[in-house]
Amino acid sequence: MKKYISALPLLAPLCLASVPAWGQEADGDDENQVVIADMRRTEIVVTGLPVTLGEGVYSTIETDIDPSRTVENSLRDIPGLQQFRRSDARSANPTSQGVTLRGLGGNASSRALLILDGVPQADPFGGWVAWPGYDALALGSARITRGGGSVTDGQGAISGTIELFSDTVGDRIELGAAYGSRNSVDADLLFGRELGQGQLTISANYARGDGFIPIIESQRGSVDRPAEYEQAGLAVRFVASLSDNVELQTNVRAFTDDRERGFAFSENHNDGADASIRLIDRNSDWQWSALAYVQIRNFDVSFGGVADDRNSVSRVFEQFSVPSTGLGARFEVRSPVGDNVELRIGGDWRRTEGTTKENFFFANNDTPRRSRTAGGSTATYGAFVEASLQAGEALLLTGGGRVDFWSIDDGFRKEIELIDPFPGAVRTDEQFANRSDTEFTGRGGFAYDINDQLTFRGAAYLGWRLPTLNELFRPFRVGSDATAANELLEPERMKGAEIGMDWTSGIAKLGITAFYNQLDNAVANITLANGPGVFPGVGFVAADGTYSQRQNLDAITSRGVEIDVAFDLGDLVEGLAVRAAYSFVDAEVDGSGDAAAVDGFRPAQVPRHNVTGSIVWENEAGTGISLSARYVGQQFEDDVNILSLADALTIDGRMALAVTDRLLVETRIENLLDARVEAAVSSNGIIERAFPRTFWVGLRARIE
């Protein structure tokens, strides 16, 4: 891994990490920002059109982004929200970092739609999320809507929607740094300047560490070593008023991410750049927004085969270049149809294209015997309408639908020989037939106020997700196990319903939701055979490995309960707040044919129980202390529920002292009890863990 990466000069030596809420003050004088109330934060900035009337009928959590933690770890505090694996971006394979909700997992592609200022964030090739590309300091808030069928956001939101909003920073310069265990450094920088009627914001972040050894101590061999990482990002945002009503928002963002997996031939590199432009009219009778964006991504990854005694390793597979591009546009208008009626009409378009270039069948001298290229493109064109009605003082009704036309085009796979006796010989040259169809999305619901404190709500929805280019065309490996792609995958289709209640009384808030979801045609990795052998699409699989293929299951059903409770104890102790949440998910696979062996089992990587809790005290100067806990129940590594990952309880803490109104000292600890958080287990029983106990100490300075 490179000792320094090209983005490092963007940061001064004292650039920041570990950012406290002390640095998160919003500019309350900005008349264009839209805010919503939240118990943990006085104002949450929404950077698009105002929050709609109909949002009140769905299970929604509104929260700030904790700038002292990474964005992905802040979101882990939402029960039922999970990535495919328990490890975070410092040690996980980037392709495993898709996000989902409500137990609709078993697949590393995202089944929840992640949006930043209106722009979809999933990788255009694989559907995973490049978490190191986000600087928590520059983000103000998040809104998580659990449950699918978001008719206004497009395909992919089958388990829910996660919206991130940029912060409004005003005139501000903040910088700082933190140093942690295993020679780790976190740093970031925020620069904000009001320019006439505009606002310029520049943020940069950097992180590196020597890393820890992922394999648990009792199973390590001579090949095991710390998994180092180095990551950086830069974002520029400019917002300006073009008239009394119309606002221009432009964003440019770039990141780079280098990691390895703790042994030779396991390095990963991921980089990308995004750009978007949005026009918004919040103030006219006819409110509207128009958005266009582009995403550019590339990653490369190597896979090493480790001997049973873990004392030798050789390269078995490498994807040396996987370039991809995402393009999109969206338009929405809200027409004035009555004081108690809200109508949304719009449409969107998204196109993705990408190619995987890979070598496999390596000789003893690390020379590849064969090369493969595969890829294609997808496109969706959608139109939507949604209406909400305040039918009296107590009853709110909402409903909407959308129609999407989708296509999968230009799919191909080609394999050639690289070495003697037939170098250049074509072994496979397949051109896959183009496919297209239409899909329907719909949702509707109600909210009824029993009194000023208690509201009952219910909703039902339909949604769908198009398989990613990764699922359609790219095989992959985890250790000795190999999984083939499947160009014939069908779209996933979800139907679900929920009912819940929200209660508010003075210092307390309570939300309870019961839900049922059924995901038809769920894409999953189906185990077909055990090694040793040569298998289609992946090549050789060793004796301790398994051969799988991505296939459509009949369905995954998920039923459960979510409970959220929060207490604002500021009347007792100024600045004190407590929050806790619990999610129970009973998920089950319905499988037949090749998937008959997994019928009735729990999807891989889906726990039944998830509990989070936190207690936070902070004064206006920024001095404070917080303690948070997260419990994740037992889950299975594999689809046949043989390889088990134990439950885990982790505790994190933070203390901050405001030395002056411009300087803050902070200490943090992750995984206080050094719990063994099992992230993966291979078919031969080798266990990989997530991050161990980590101490941090840092400084933060506000220049102005």
The per-residue pLDDT for 401 is: 95
Identify the bridge partners of residue 311 per DSSP, sorted by sequence position: none
Q: What is the pLDDT of residues 342-381, one digit of tens each?
A: 999 999 999 999 999 999 888 877 889 889 999 999 999 9
Q: Rounded to whole angstroms, how far apart are CA atoms 239 and 628?
A: 35
First to last CA, the chain: 37
Question: CA angle at residue 270 from 266 to 274, to 5 degrees?
Answer: 170
The per-residue pLDDT for 69 is: 84
At a CB cut-off of 8 Å and minimum separation 6, what does 422 contact?
A: none
Both tokens assigned to 373: 């290229």
As averages over each run of 10 residues, the pLDDT of the chain (704 residues) reads: 37 33 42 37 58 84 84 88 91 90 85 94 92 89 89 91 90 94 96 91 96 96 96 96 92 96 93 96 90 96 89 90 96 89 95 93 84 95 95 94 97 90 86 96 95 95 95 80 90 96 93 96 89 82 85 95 94 92 96 91 94 94 94 92 95 95 95 96 91 96 86
Q: What is the pLDDT of residues 248-264, one digit of tens each?
A: 999 999 999 999 999 99
The per-residue pLDDT for 336 is: 86
Distances (CA, A) of 317 to 174, 473, 478: 44, 16, 10
User: Left (φ > 0), alpha (ψ -120 to 50) or beta: where does 605 sit?
Assistant: left
Q: Rounded to whole angstroms, how far apart are CA atoms 321 and 340?
A: 53
Q: Which of 191, 195, 144, 132 is nearest to 167 (CA)?
A: 191
Place of tokens 């137990």: 103
Place of tokens 């095989």: 475
Helix ranges restricted to H, 383-454: none
Look at residue 618 and give its three-state secondary structure. strand
For residue 323, cis peptide bond before it (omega within 30 degrees of 0): no
The per-residue pLDDT for 545 is: 83
691 contacts 670 by C-beta, under 8 angstroms: yes
349 contacts 368 by C-beta, under 8 angstroms: no
Beta strands in 418-452 (DSSP E): 426-431, 435-449
3-class SS letters over 145-210 = EECCCCCCCCCCCCCEEEEEEECCCCCEEEEEEEEECCCEEEEEEEEEEEECCEEEEEEEEEEEEC
Query: If residue 685 lies in a helix (H) or strand (E), which one and from where to where?
Result: none
603 contacts 523 by C-beta, under 8 angstroms: no
Q: Rounded to whole angstroms, how far apart are CA atoms 698 and 8?
A: 19
400 contacts 344 by C-beta, under 8 angstroms: yes
Q: Which of 640, 655, 671, 632 is nearest to 106 (CA)?
A: 640
Q: Rounded to whole angstroms, how far apart are CA atoms 441 and 329?
A: 19
Domains along the sequence of the chain with CATH: 8-702 (2.40.170.20)
- pTM strictly above 0.95: no
482 contacts 504 by C-beta, under 8 angstroms: no
Query: If residue 250 lies in a helix (H) or strand (E), which one and from where to where?
Result: strand 246-259
For residue 536, cis peptide bond before it (omega within 30 degrees of 0): no
**Strand-strand pairing, 160-166 and 112-116:** parallel
**Strand-strand pairing, 341-362 and 313-335:** antiparallel
Look at residue 194 and give its three-state secondary structure. strand
